[in-house]
Amino acid sequence: MGTTEEAEARGPDGPALRVLVIEDEFVVATTLRLHLEALGCEVVGVARRADSGVEMAHELHPDLVLMDIGLPDRDGIEATRDIVRDLATSVIVVTAYEDERVQRALSAGARTVLTKPVLEEQLAQVIGELRTERASDGPPSDPREP
């Protein structure tokens, strides 16, 4: 690979994915942020509550949200439903639970569910897929620089 020094705001495939992290545990949020930045994503915000996270999603229009389920104010699955209903944002649900909540999260519109602890390789795969989709969609509001 040997492209780590290029993994800044703009990767080799165009603009970096803009990501919002909604996670109440500081250590987990920080770890996710470091993984995302290592993968060349731009972390545009971190929210610790579901409602403030949904608000931030509406303000920032991120390409991707990483969503915890167990949040202090309400369920991250409900917040996922709110975001995918209103925005063209992909949501990846991140959870410690491997039970019926996984299916509920997918039914709510989550693109996929990752189980904690989330490894950088798992994120790399999903982010690679998102980048490929965006490249083939060719977003018109994205003037390519030479």
Specify the residue, 40 or 95, whose C-beta has the smaller distance to Ca ion: 95
Residue 117 binds Ca ion (CB under 5 A): no
CB of residue 48 to Ca ion, shortest distance in Å: 9
68 binds Ca ion (CB under 5 A): yes
| Shortest separation between residue 68's beta carbon and Ca ion, angstroms | 4
Convert residues 6-25 into a mask of x (bound to Ca ion by CB under 5 A) and - (unbound).
------------------x-
Residue 25-64 contact track with Ca ion, rule CB under 5 A, x = bound: ----------------------------------------
Q: Which DSSP helix (H) or strand (E) runs through 112?
A: strand 112-115
Cα dihedral sign for 137, 139, 145, 146? positive
Of 36, 100, 29, 99, the residue nearest 67 (C-alpha): 29
**Strand, coil or helix: 71:** coil
70 near Ca ion, rule: CB under 5 A: yes
Query: Residue 105 in contact with residue 113, Cβ under 8 Å?
Result: yes
For position 80 contacting Ca ion by CB under 5 A, the verdict is no
Which DSSP string do the residues of 18-61 spell out, in sequence order? Answer: EEEEE-S-HHHHHHHHHHHHHTT-EEEEEESSHHHHHHHHHHH-
Binding site for Ca ion (CB under 5 A): 24, 68, 70
